[in-house]
């Protein structure tokens, strides 16, 4: 039985243990489960109370009817509210981002939509970076307007003053309630300055309207970028990607302060968007190798990006590791990213025909959308992940017919380069 306040050993002789060490132990004691070294799957919908008094107390705490008494343990009630696999997973996920609290969802979109619904109401405005993941773009552009919520986009590389003028020209600046950012942007790796977004939010907040900053950290997190350190309020993930890491689970994550996460978890309970125990268990397993996988993927991606950068059939490579001091984005990269990650896009010489010939010639890379898994993937953003964008939106986001997006897996990087080499020759 999980004890809410048990976290286990977090330091040895004054040395604070690192997240990759704690992924095997944090928040779980084998004595709770017959000595099982791994947390079992609590595949149950409901939990039996020892007494009616216990059941009453658990509900009082869960519904916020009274504060917890000192040393009182909130108990398990029903798996839509809480479940040991999810609670242990949520505790472990807080470690990477240095967050107070975490909520896990059944998909990245479930996390994103629950957060947007919790913090926005009719008449409110959400200011967002462009481009965004297509599902988020659709939710902001097609779903939220049905509830009277407006969205205003700004290009990922826009400066503070450009964003302020976009906001002022909209005529709705006084209704700003959320800044929603995806950085690096998909598929070009364009960066948004998180510190700048936090400043805009602080400057625009009033006593009656707090502007909340939410960041989709799927591309670089939880290893290579920690947005909470730059004053943002909420971090979101499609855990389907690096956190899950094996292309076999769909899940989402939101992290932030106790205060904000209480609100997110409350709406999650009533929308029923939480993840189930099996998803929770799979992600616990994935977290044990997160650092190994992401480090290997990032190191290989550097080699692949260097190879592409020098190939005569490649016009331009979009990879954070290739930014130089001359690039206006370099200072943002140095400030907020710890490594360039493993997502690479590149423009081929030619157009859609050449790009398709290249994709159809790959033998090791799989032709599929998604990213962050152990296997390397390749796709064509203009006709696949970003097909719904208008020609103007594509051109603003630098998405061309000759662009290919790669997600680098854990294969031998020389094997990956051999595959790219032969496919580029056939293109």
Ligand X SMILES: Cc1ncc(COP(=O)(O)O)c(C=O)c1O
Question: Which residues are at the interface with ligand X (CB under 6 A)?
Answer: 107-109, 133, 135, 182, 186, 216, 218, 238, 240, 250, 252, 370
Pick 77 or 283: Cβ nearer ligand X: 283
Give the CA distances from residue 181 to residues 18, 48, 83, 153, 196, in Å, rounded to whole numbers and listed in that order: 28, 42, 30, 10, 11
Q: Which is nearer to ligand X, 82 or 113 (CB)?
A: 113
Residue 252 Cβ vs ligand X, minimum distance, rounded to whole Å:
5
- Select 236 or 423, whichever has its Cβ closest to ligand X: 236
186 or 376: CB nearest ligand X: 186
- Contact by Cβ (8 Å): 368, 379: yes
- Cis before 247 (ω within 30): no
Would you say 313 and 122 are in contact if contact means Cβ atoms under 8 Å apart? Answer: no
The span from the CA of 49 to the CA of 192, in Å, is 49
118/182 with CB nearer ligand X: 182
Token digits for 232?
């943002």
Cβ closer to ligand X: 253 or 296? 253
Q: How far is the CB of 110 from ligand X (least distance, A)?
A: 7
Q: How far is the CB of 238 from ligand X (least distance, A)?
A: 3
Query: Alpha carbon 361 to chain centroid distance?
Result: 31
- Least distance in angstroms from the C-beta of 182 to ligand X: 6
Q: What is the DSSP string of 7-60?
A: ----EETTEEPPHHHHTTTTT--GGGGTT-SSPPP---SB---SSHHHHHHHHH
Beta strands in 31-174 (DSSP E): 101-105, 125-130, 150-155
State which residue, 368 or 418, has the beta carbon closest to ligand X. 368
Q: How far is the CB of 186 from ligand X (least distance, A)?
A: 5
Cα separation, 424 vs 177, whole angstroms: 47
Alpha carbons 308 and 135: distance in angstroms, whole number = 29
Q: How far is the CB of 140 from ligand X (least distance, A)?
A: 12
Two structure tokens written together for 333: 């990269």
Instruction: Give the residue at shortest CB distance from ligand X.
Output: 108
Q: How far is the CB of 63 from ligand X (least distance, A)?
A: 29
**Nearest distance, CB of residue 372 and ligand X, angstroms:** 9
Strand-pairing partners, residue 101, are: 256
User: Which lies closer to ligand X via its Cβ, residue 110 or residue 423?
Assistant: 110
């Amino acid at each position: 039985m999980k004890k809410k306040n048990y976290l286990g050993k977090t330091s040895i002789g004054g040395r604070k243990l690192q997240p990759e060490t704690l992924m095997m132990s944090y928040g779980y004691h084998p004595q709770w489960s017959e000595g099982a070294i791994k947390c079992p799957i609590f595949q149950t919908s409901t939990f039996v109370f020892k007494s009616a008094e216990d059941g009453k107390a658990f509900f009082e705490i869960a519904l916020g009817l009274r504060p917890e008494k000192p040393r009182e343990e909130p108990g398990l009630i029903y798996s839509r509210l809480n479940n040991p696999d999810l609670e242990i997973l949520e505790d472990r996920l807080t470690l990477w981002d240095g967050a107070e609290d975490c909520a896990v969802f059944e998909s990245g979109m479930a996390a994103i939509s629950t957060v947007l619904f919790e913090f926005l109401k009719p008449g409110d405005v959400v200011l967002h970076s462009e481009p965004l993941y297509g599902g988020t773009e659709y939710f902001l552009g097609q779903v939220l307007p049905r509830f009277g919520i407006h969205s205003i986009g700004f290009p990922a590389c826009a400066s503070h003053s450009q964003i302020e003028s976009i906001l002022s020209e909209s005529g709705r600046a006084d209704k700003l309630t959320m800044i929603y950012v995806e950085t690096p942007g998909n598929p070009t790796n364009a960066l948004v300055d998180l510190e700048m977004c936090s400043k805009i939010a602080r400057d625009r907040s009033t006593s009656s309207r707090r502007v909340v900053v939410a960041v989709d950290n799927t591309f670089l997190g939880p290893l290579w970028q920690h947005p909470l350190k730059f004053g943002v309020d909420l971090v979101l993930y499609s855990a389907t990607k690096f956190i899950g890491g094996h292309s076999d689970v769909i899940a989402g994550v939101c992290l932030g302060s106790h205060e904000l996460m209480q609100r997110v978890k409350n709406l999650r309970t009533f929308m029923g968007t939480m993840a189930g125990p099996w998803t929770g268990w799979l992600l616990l397993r994935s977290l044990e190798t997160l650092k190994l996988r992401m480090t290997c993927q990032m190191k290989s991606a550097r080699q692949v990006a260097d190879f592409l950068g020098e190939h005569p059939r490649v016009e331009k490579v979009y990879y954070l590791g290739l930014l130089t001091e001359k690039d206006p984005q370099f200072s943002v990269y140095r400030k907020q990213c710890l490594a360039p990650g493993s997502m690479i896009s590149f423009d081929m010489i030619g157009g859609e025909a050449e790009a398709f010939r290249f994709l159809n010639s790959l033998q090791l890379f799989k032709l599929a959308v998604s990213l962050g898994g152990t296997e390397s993937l390749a796709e064509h953003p203009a006709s696949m992940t970003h097909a719904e964008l208008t020609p103007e939106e594509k051109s603003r986001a630098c998405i061309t017919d000759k662009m290919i997006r790669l997600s680098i897996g854990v294969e031998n990087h020389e094997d990956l380069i051999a595959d790219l080499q032969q496919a580029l020759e056939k293109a």
